[in-house]
Amino acid sequence: MSQQGYVATPPYSQAQPGIGGYPTGFGASPPQAHYGHYGAPPQPYTAQAAGVLKPAASSPSGMPPPPVSSQYGSPIQQNGAHSQKFPPPAVSAPAMPPYGQPLQRPAYQSMAQATPPTQQMTNQMSAMSIGGYGQGPLQSPQSPTSSAAPQPYQMPSAPAMGHPPMSPTGHQPPSMSACPPMTAGPPMGATGAPPMGMPNSQPGLPPMGGGGFQQPGGPQGFPQQPGPYGGQMPGSQMAGPQAGAFAGGFPGGAAHMAGPPQKKLDPDSIPSTTQVIEDDQAKRGGQLYTTNLRGQVPPLVTTSFTVQDQGNASPRFMRCTTYSFPCSSDLAKQCQVPLATIIKPFATVPKNETPLYVVNHGEAGPIRCNRCKAYMCPFMLFIDGGRRYQCSFCNCVNEVPVQYFQHLDHMGRRVDLYERPELSLGSYEFTATLDYCKNNKPPNPPAYIFMIDVSYNNIKSGLVKLICEELKTLLDRLPKEEGAESSSIKVGFVTYNKILHFYNVKSALAQPQMMVVSDVAEMFVPLLDGFLVNFQESRAVINNLLDQIPDMFADTNESETVFAPVIQAGVEALKAAECSGKLFIFHSSLPTAEAPGKLKNRDDRKLVNTEKEKILFQPQRGVYEQLTKDCVAQGCCVDLFVFPNQYVDMATMGDIPTHTGGSVYKYSNFQVQIDGEHFLTDLRRDVEKSIGFDAIMRVRTSTGFRATDFFGAIYMNNTTDVEMAAVDCDKAVTVEFKHDDALNEEAGALIQCALLYTSISGQRRLRVHNLSLNCSSQLSELYKSCETDALINFFAKSAYHAILNQPVKTVREILVKQTAHMLACYRKHCASPSAASQLILPDAMKVFPVYMNSLMKTPVLVGSAELSTDERNFHRLSVMSTGVEESQILLYPRLIPLHSMDVVNEAVPAAVRCSEERLSETGVFLLDNGQNLFLWLGQACPPDLIQSLFNVPSLAHLSPDMTSLPELDNAQSKKLRSIICAISQQRPHSMKMVIVKQKDKPEMLFRQHLVEDKGLHGGASYIDFLCYVHREIRQLLT
């Protein structure tokens, strides 16, 4: 290693104009609009009933009907009174359309049975009554040992959401007696108003906004008042105007309903998430989901299904909180159901689904509406013999460019409809022209820079050696363009503690060269040539370097580090190379060395549960704020792998990654032997995953509503352009919509998400996702079309965003009020008349309360000084960019009983509800929340099972440090390992396995995830929450 000492040349790079360098003004309005061009009012997009031969767009699906003489020769198929479906090409037909780039087989495989919308909604409503008030004290569902014998019930003070200081053993097992029987059929047991001892905190409707956190809810009773239930709890009763729907929802529910009077409130009688998941899997699992219908509600994220794009984006790319928007803003305000979509633009497409086609329109570039700049898509309406088209987003009539002209058939559709992805598919890509490139220059391929903290802690723990060893093989697996021989991504290396070391790894060198920059206040990159290289070409020099790094710093005693200058160096290097890219930073401590961005310990848990708690979540600004802007402008994504032994100010250190499309990984008290594999798995996935750089996203909508709020690992310089230094296959952006006018039932609500980005080989591309939703003036349509998993994703992100500016307590209050309000509105406007004492939940939202309650018990919102501030911030940051799959499993983990698993059957055993009372001393359970895998072992679980799984004679012999199962040659071991493997592959992060023995200390960690129970750090049980929400609803309705 030759070292060139302290280099002090001036920086190579110059300030670049920000990200706005797109001459065509990505998304900007053109100077002149062609609106109303023809002197006639623009034609509405959808006008006629199906069957009328008029130019296209007659179907409620928003999709043009298929041509009679399709090239595929399939007959037209009608789906009842609903829209026509696309005819499928015969598989053997000349079906390979001349799409720009034949990536794979065409999308059309077979004609799927589309589900008529009505069919999804037959179980529109289930009902639940928590009635029988005053008939006796409530028997708790929480007491696993409770027998049928009624016990006097004393509600613990502030049983519900108040997060009272609560030790795990600090509450008596509540109980209940003398509840009325479960009944099916018409509502029962609603005898008069209950003597509810709850504070009447809130007369009338609360002054809530349309779903945001704008107005603090004020101290309105719910969370912090002691003893809201008084001494009596309402009894509970199931009843249902639509008992059939209800019985289907709950295992054993029917039996209870039909059976003799029950003495206790059966936990099985309240809506079950595991049952909802199972039912959807049974009903829609394994099926083909075709996207030809407007406003079609997709299967749940937990259901496995295959998507066929027939004109709307796959739910893998876009998932909505409801698929039927209310027509007016008044209705939207009335129901307070958030109107949002969760967009995962780079979502992984399973191997059996068609990857996106790339359309190349040559130098002319993609075709866009002159007025609103929407891209050509299946929603555009061709008229005037094909010479013009009307934009369905803004109604502007545009000329069809000469080179794009095509005749229309007698149905008014272009005859090349099925040859063009942008006319027939919901998702596709365009190759972008130079107009879409910064400074009108094609971009260079991106670069990955590995920046390793070589301070004392990381050397001593063996982390530096581990990273260097791994990189030697990992760099062979950098992502590459489909069909390319090798990756175009360049790589570079930096090590640092208080100063930075850059390495010249040019292939011509016999040895790597180190250059040191000690002036961290004025960061620059001391070399241009040889810093970013092609791994294949420089393999020998790089391997030489990776061998040397651990030795070079083996004797270091430097424990201070810098952080902001490291990111600055990475940005400067990318600027100098004129490319976008990603920084992989491996860091272990609070950056306390004298340098810009120096941080100090500001962890003050006395702020928890005060008005100032938000300070704990707010990042330090100044240097970091500017650095974020620099990163975004350069397309520099930051991934942070942090290995803390103590407080590191996660709020600040994680801020740049989460505004640049990056990820934060945290390995507390890292030990190579225990955590090494866990970390390496994360690193490998992160390096290999599919990703786009220097991205800017616009979400366009048809008239009447617009995107107003955006949550994700994003940066916003204005109100419309979502900037992402990078966006990978796991990152999702949650977008909220608001009305600015009335919506039209016929036209529906159209959304187009356009993402301009640089591919891993340096191509500028536009990825377009289109989705059409229904609109209705009936709120019942909205509630029918709700998606609970998407709703809770929205609420999690908006709440986690709100705590930056509002006390956590206020945010919790707003969440509860809004939950009650949404359900009360359903009750008032959509449900059949029934007694006030009944709790009636919309079928599509029947498990929403359990998710909401779980959200309020997450480390971020629970407001407990026992929790580490860094841990709360880490949780917050990791949720802000997650998709619906991840937020679902996080807020309702899967609890899988293993002791009774059928080792012959391939299937994963059915999950049980997340509650302590589902555990048994003789059992073994696996809990998966997407971040950890807990293997819980009952005290009395059979020794032969322990032997089979762990190869030790008893629990006592089992090491708590074990993080993986030994590979043993027996059926139980193989089965469990295959389950773990299958689960791990579904998750974006590697999951650490934690062995939990019943009644051992780590059990506390595990029990936090039993989300139906009372929270260990505060927060209500599911049933208490439901009772509380019901009370709130009753108040709203009176």
Contact set with Zn ion (CB under 5 A): 369, 371-372, 374, 391, 393-394, 396
Which class for 564: exposed (0-12), middle (13-18), buried (19 or more C-beta within 10 A)? Answer: buried
Identify which of residues 372 and 691 has a Cβ nearer to Zn ion in the complex: 372
Nearer Cβ to Zn ion, position 374 or 517?
374
The three-class DSSP label of residue 799 is helix
Provide the minimum distance between the beta carbon of 374 and Zn ion in the complex, in angstroms, as a whole number: 5
State in angstroms the smallest separation of the CB of 37 from Zn ion: 12
Residues 1003/1004/1008/1009 CA torsion (nearest 10 deg):
-10
Pick between residue 107 and residue 369 the one whose CB is nearest to Zn ion: 369
Q: Encoding tokens for residue 900?
A: 């009774």
Nearer to Zn ion (CB atom), residue 293 or residue 750? 750
Q: 73: buried, middle or exposed (CB in 10 Å: 19+, 13-18, 0-12)?
A: exposed
**Residues written for the chain:** 1038
Spatial neighbors of 811 by CB under 8 A, at least 6 apart, are 213, 799, 802, 803, 861
DSSP 229-263: TTT-----B---TTHHHHHHHSTTHHHHHHSSPPS
Nearer to Zn ion, 391 or 766 (CB): 391
- State in angstroms the smallest separation of the CB of 369 from Zn ion: 3
* DSSP 3-state of 460: helix
Q: How far is the CB of 750 from Zn ion (least distance, A)?
A: 10
Which residue number, 394 or 640, has a Cβ lying nearer to Zn ion? 394
**What is the rounded distance in angstroms from the CA atom of residue 921 to the CA atom of residue 998?**
8
Q: Name which of 372 and 926 has its Cβ closer to Zn ion.
A: 372
**Cβ 423 to Zn ion shortest distance, Å:** 16
In whole angstroms, how close is the CB of 414 to Zn ion at the nearest point?
A: 18
Which residues neighbour 508 within 8 Å (Cβ) at sequence distance 6 or greater?
Answer: none
* Minimum distance, C-beta of residue 391 to Zn ion, in the bound complex (Å): 3
Minimum distance from CB of 35 to Zn ion (Å)? 9
Q: Which is nearer to Zn ion, 236 or 701 (CB)?
A: 701
Contact residues for 913 (Cβ-Cβ < 8 A; gap 6+):
267, 272, 273, 274, 895, 1012
729 close to 689: Cβ distance less than 8 angstroms: yes
Residue 375 C-beta: closest distance to Zn ion, Å? 10
From CA 193, how far away is CA 134, in angstroms rounded? 9
Longest dimension (CA), the chain: 90
Q: For 740-887, where are the E strands, in sequence order?
A: 749-758, 764-776, 838-842
Nearest Cα to Cα of residue 26 among 433, 324, 343: 433
- Specify the residue, 374 or 475, whose C-beta has the smaller distance to Zn ion: 374
8 A C-beta contact, residue 340 and residue 737: yes
Q: Taking the complex as a whole, how short is the minimal distance between the CB of residue 43 and Zn ion, in angstroms?
A: 14
Annotate 329-378 with DSSP letters as a single string.
Answer: HHHHHHH----EEEE-TTPPPPTTSPPPPEE--GGG---B-TTT-PBP-T
**What tokens does 787 get?**
């998606």
The closest alpha carbon to 635, from 548, 700, 707, 723, belongs to: 723
DSSP-derived letter for residue 891 is H
Closest contact distance (angstroms) between CB of 754 and Zn ion is 12
* Dist CA 211 CA 226 (whole Å): 27
Of 217, 211, 215, which is closest to residue 329 (Cα–Cα)? 211
Q: Coil, strand or helix: which one is 646? A: coil
CB closer to Zn ion out of 720 and 932: 720
Q: Least Å distance between CB 871 and Zn ion?
A: 47
| Residue 213 Cβ vs Zn ion, minimum distance, rounded to whole Å | 33
Taking the complex as a whole, how short is the minimal distance between the CB of residue 702 and Zn ion, in angstroms? 9
Work out how close the CB of 395 gets to Zn ion at its nearest, in angstroms, rounded to a whole number. 7
Count CB neighbours of 29 within 10 A: 12
Listing DSSP states for 676-693 in one string gives HHHHHHHHHHHHHS-EEE
999: left (phi over 0), alpha (psi -120 to 50) or beta: left
- Closer Cβ to Zn ion, 374 or 836, answer by number: 374
The least CB distance from residue 305 to Zn ion, in Å, is 33
Which residue(s) pair with 752 in the sheet? Answer: 700, 770
**At its nearest, how many Å lie between Zn ion and the CB of residue 394?**
3
Measured from the CB atom, is 394 or 650 closer to Zn ion? 394
Helix (H) or strand (E) holding 788: helix 788-802
Q: Which C-beta is closer to Zn ion: that of 395 or that of 734?
A: 395
Question: Which residue lies nearer to Zn ion by CB, 373 or 465?
Answer: 373
Nearest Cα neighbor of 732 from 340, 375, 358, 457 is 340
Q: Which is nearer to Zn ion, 376 or 471 (CB)?
A: 376
Positive or negative, the CA dihedral 803, 809, 810, 815 is: positive
Query: How remote is the C-alpha of 866 from its chain's centroid?
Result: 27
Contact 926, 979 (CB under 8 A): yes
Question: 349 or 372, CB closer to Zn ion?
Answer: 372
* Residue (369 or 802) nearer to Zn ion, CB: 369
Alpha-carbon distance values, 422 to 235, 333, 430 (Å): 57, 35, 9
Please report how close the Cβ of residue 66 comes to Zn ion at its closest, in angstroms: 25
Q: Which is nearer to Zn ion, 376 or 980 (CB)?
A: 376
Strands 533-534 and 490-496: antiparallel
